[in-house]
Amino acid sequence: MAKGRPRPGNDASSRGPAAVAATPGDERDRIIEAMLACIARQGWRRLSLADIAAEAGMPILRLYRMYPSKPAILCGFFRRIDEAVLAAPLDSEADERPRDRVFDLLMRRFDALTPYRGVIEALGRDVPADPFAALAAGARLLRSIRWMLEAAGISGEGLGGVVAVKLTAGAYLMTLRTWLRDDSPDLAPTMAALDRRLRNIERWYGGGRRRDREATAQA
């Protein structure tokens, strides 16, 4: 079980317009924040690139140079979530079960998404009706889950790895429905749902021992 995680309380639906970035290097984040604010306000289907540029306070040409499409900006947001999840190494024991490490990483993901719960709910309603966005988001999710498994010491290579990635993505998406309704302070219902679903697929994780610890032991 994940332990003592802080629970961000702010929701993206309460955010105002994206602040003007101080440096050009922040422009991608500016665009992502503008997209999130627009989605929280008007959803995905009616959102245009012009809306995002206006929210970000920049000419549409500058947005064009940063991102080629709405789905590309959305994938930029999910990449940012990935980086938040992967930023710190897992605090786990060498003999900990692979399933427990996957559990901790996916709960980190839910924690990172907590400020954007309203956005995720809107995307869940609208994106399935946009085939291009749905394909892009689905491919991005599989890539994200593969990195989560690699961080947990589970290979995503080969047929077994592909199956593990897809089954874990399915478990994550099913748990996402619970998370969207979970208003408990410790996300206990979400943790219980995720733990139950990971138990059903853990045989696909193999031994999954932490390779970084094994390398240290052999040094």
Retrieve residue 6's tokens. 């802080």
Q: Looking at the structure, tell me whether residues 33 and 109 fall in a common domain.
A: no
pLDDT at 94: 66
Q: If we measure between CA atoms, which residue out of 172, 144, 182 comes closest to residue 7?
A: 182
Give every CB contact of residue 71 below 8 A, 6+ residues apart in sequence.
132, 133, 136, 137
Q: Looking at the structure, tell me whether residues 117 and 46 fall in a common domain.
A: no
Q: Looking at the structure, tell me whether residues 118 and 185 fall in a common domain.
A: yes
Retrieve residue 94's tokens. 């060498």
Residue 212: CB atoms within 10 Å: 12
- Average pLDDT score over residue span 189-198: 97
Give the tens place of pLDDT for each residue, 71-82.
999 999 999 999
Total tally of structural domains belonging to the chain: 2
Q: Looking at the structure, tell me whether residues 99 and 44 fall in a common domain.
A: no
Domain presence at residue 7: no
Give the tens place of pLDDT for each residue, 82-105.
999 999 888 767 678 999 999 999
Domain range for residue 131? Answer: 92-211
Give every CB contact of residue 167 below 8 A, 6+ residues apart in sequence.
201, 204
Domain presence at residue 99: yes
Cα dist from 12 to 76, 78, 199, 210, whole Å: 16, 15, 32, 36
